[in-house]
């Protein structure tokens, strides 16, 4: 068994049969004064990729985590295009939270491949910044749905996912960790774990993308870059959020209806301080 395969059986990864790139988010230390130990609560949310292939055993495993709400970042055209499914588990409410304009395929991976393949070949970071800026510009309403749930039901575990559990999910998780005061390196490391989380399903992802768009097959180097989750990408994303929006807090106040009180409540709900 490879070291990466070993990592998949260790926290923060969670075994849910048929669900990939599944892991808990939380437990990170928060920089503070020397007299206090401050940490983000463990498992404030769970993240994953497309749930279409989850098994009955996997559904039981998901329920055992206490998850009763799932938030789906995909739009209907993306789900249909991939022949995917919406998660269906008794007692788990699925909330659609598409990161897109109405009837817009701008964040459909197949469309992005066509638009950005040449850019990924020449400047990977710049291409990701284009995608992640679009996610941030379109994602406010979707992100607010999840954050409201976190504010109002802090003790209820939740799952957030897109198709790969990488880009839309990764940007959202980075925003949450920024708000909670987690240091940049931990946010970068969390994002980079997707490289390990996707390894078992890379053949499936390539097959799906190739069926939808020949550009993926015609330019495998650029396609491989597009599927990456390198530390440098998240480092650039954190810089972009601060430069373009003034930080995660200012982003939320300008792109959602969350206010200072809501953001304070998020921190109170999910940050633990011990003397």
CA dihedral 100→109→71→99, nearest 10 degrees, is -10
Q: Which CATH number goes with the domain that contains 269? A: 3.90.190.10
Buried b (16+ CB within 10 A) or exposed e, 67-85: bbbbbbbbbebbbebbebe
pLDDT tens string 142-201: 999 999 999 999 999 999 999 999 999 999 999 999 999 999 999 999 999 999 999 998
Alpha carbon distance 167, 134 (integer Å): 11
- Name which of 12-16, 221-225, 233-237 the model is least confident about: 221-225
What total of structural domains would you count in the chain? Answer: 1
Best CA proximity match to 170, nearest among 197, 148, 144: 197
pLDDT tens digits, residue range 85-119? Answer: 999 999 999 999 999 765 555 556 556 666 777 78
pLDDT, mean of residues 117-132 = 89
The pLDDT score that the predictor gives to residue 87 is 98
pLDDT at 1: 46
Which residues face 24 on adjacent strands? Answer: 46
Give the number of other CB atoms < 10 A from CB of residue 122.
Answer: 10
**Residue % of the chain over a pLDDT of 70:** 89
Q: Domain containing 163: what range?
A: 3-274
| Neighbouring C-beta atoms of residue 2, cutoff 10 Å | 9
pTM: 0.92
Contact 194, 174 (CB under 8 A): no
Yes or no: say if 79 and 88 are a contact pair by the CB < 8 Å rule. no
Task: Say how far apart CA 135 and CA 131 lie, in whole Å.
Answer: 6
């Amino acid at each position: 068994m490879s070291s990466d395969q070993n990592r998949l059986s260790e926290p923060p990864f969670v075994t849910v049969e048929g669900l990939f790139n599944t892991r808990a988010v939380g437990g990170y230390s928060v920089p503070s004064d020397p007299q206090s130990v401050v940490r983000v609560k463990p498992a404030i949310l769970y993240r994953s990729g497309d749930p279409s292939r989850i098994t009955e055993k996997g559904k039981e495993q998901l329920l055992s985590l206490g998850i009763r709400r799932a938030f789906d970042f995909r739009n209907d055209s993306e789900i249909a295009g991939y022949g995917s499914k919406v998660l269906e588990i008794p007692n788990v409410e699925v909330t659609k939270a598409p990161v897109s304009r109405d009837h817009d395929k701008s964040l459909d991976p197949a469309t992005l491949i066509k638009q950005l393949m040449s850019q990924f070949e020449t400047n990977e970071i710049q291409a990701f910044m284009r995608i992640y800026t679009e996610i941030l510009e379109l994602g406010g309403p979707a992100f607010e749905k999840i954050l409201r749930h976190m504010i109002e039901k802090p003790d209820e575990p939740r799952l957030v996912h897109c198709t790969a559990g990488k880009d839309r999910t990764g940007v959202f998780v980075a925003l949450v960790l920024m708000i909670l005061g987690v240091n940049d390196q931990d946010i970068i490391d969390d994002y980079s774990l997707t490289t390990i989380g996707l390894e078992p399903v890379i053949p499936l992802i390539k097959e799906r993308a190739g069926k939808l768009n020949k550009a993926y097959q015609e330019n495998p180097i650029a396609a491989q870059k597009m599927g990456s989750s390198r530390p440098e990408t998240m480092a650039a994303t954190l810089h972009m959020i601060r430069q373009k929006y003034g930080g995660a807090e200012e982003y939320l106040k300008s792109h959602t209806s969350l206010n200072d009180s809501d953001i304070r409540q998020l921190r109170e709900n999910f940050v633990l301080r011990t003397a």
